[in-house]
Amino acid sequence: MSWSDERIAELKQLWSEGHSAAEIGRRLEVSKNAVIGKAHRLGLPSRPSPIKRERLTAKRAAKPAMSIPPKQKSKGPSCCWPNGDPGDVDFYFCGKPAMAGKPYCEEHYERAYILTRPKSGD
């Protein structure tokens, strides 16, 4: 299969219209991978994977809306408890005053550390 100037022009047109690589391949009678390879070699703008896009959309839909509390003004160290996904724009750290010598506030300290009892009979 050779890419004639006409086929390349048609590929560029269909790509710019947002057609999927599979659809472009059907129209040009080539494989989806041939379309992707040629688009890459031509330097056409890449598009996110539809599979990843569907997962991301589903993930965002499943997440409850988070309201970001106002940042706590504290003197000294503040709580480093992470809230949300670090990749999301609404990610933040707790920010309440941390316990002395600890990285977390009292609430998050209780969640982060499990105190163990000494074993009896040893």
What is the tens place of the pLDDT at every residue in 7-42?
999 999 999 998 999 999 999 999 999 999 999 999
Q: Please, what is the end-to-end C-alpha distance for the chain in angstroms?
A: 78
Model pLDDT for residues 35-46, shown as the tens digit of each residue: 999 999 999 998
> How far are the Cα atoms of 19, 38, 97, 112 from residue 22, in angstroms, in the given order?
8, 13, 54, 48
Q: What share of the chain is helix, strand, coil (3-state, %, to 5)?
A: 40, 5, 55
Q: Where are the domains of the chain?
A: 5-47, 67-114
Residue 9 C-beta-side C-alpha neighbours within 13 Å: 3
How much is the pLDDT for 24? 94
Residue 111 has pLDDT above 80, yes or no: yes
pTM: 0.43
How much is the pLDDT for 43? 93
Distance between CA 92 and CA 104 in Å, rounded?
14
Residue 51 has pLDDT above 80, yes or no: no
Confidence label for 122 from pLDDT (cuts 50, 70 and 90): low
Beta bridge partners of 83: 92
pLDDT-above-70 percentage for the chain: 75
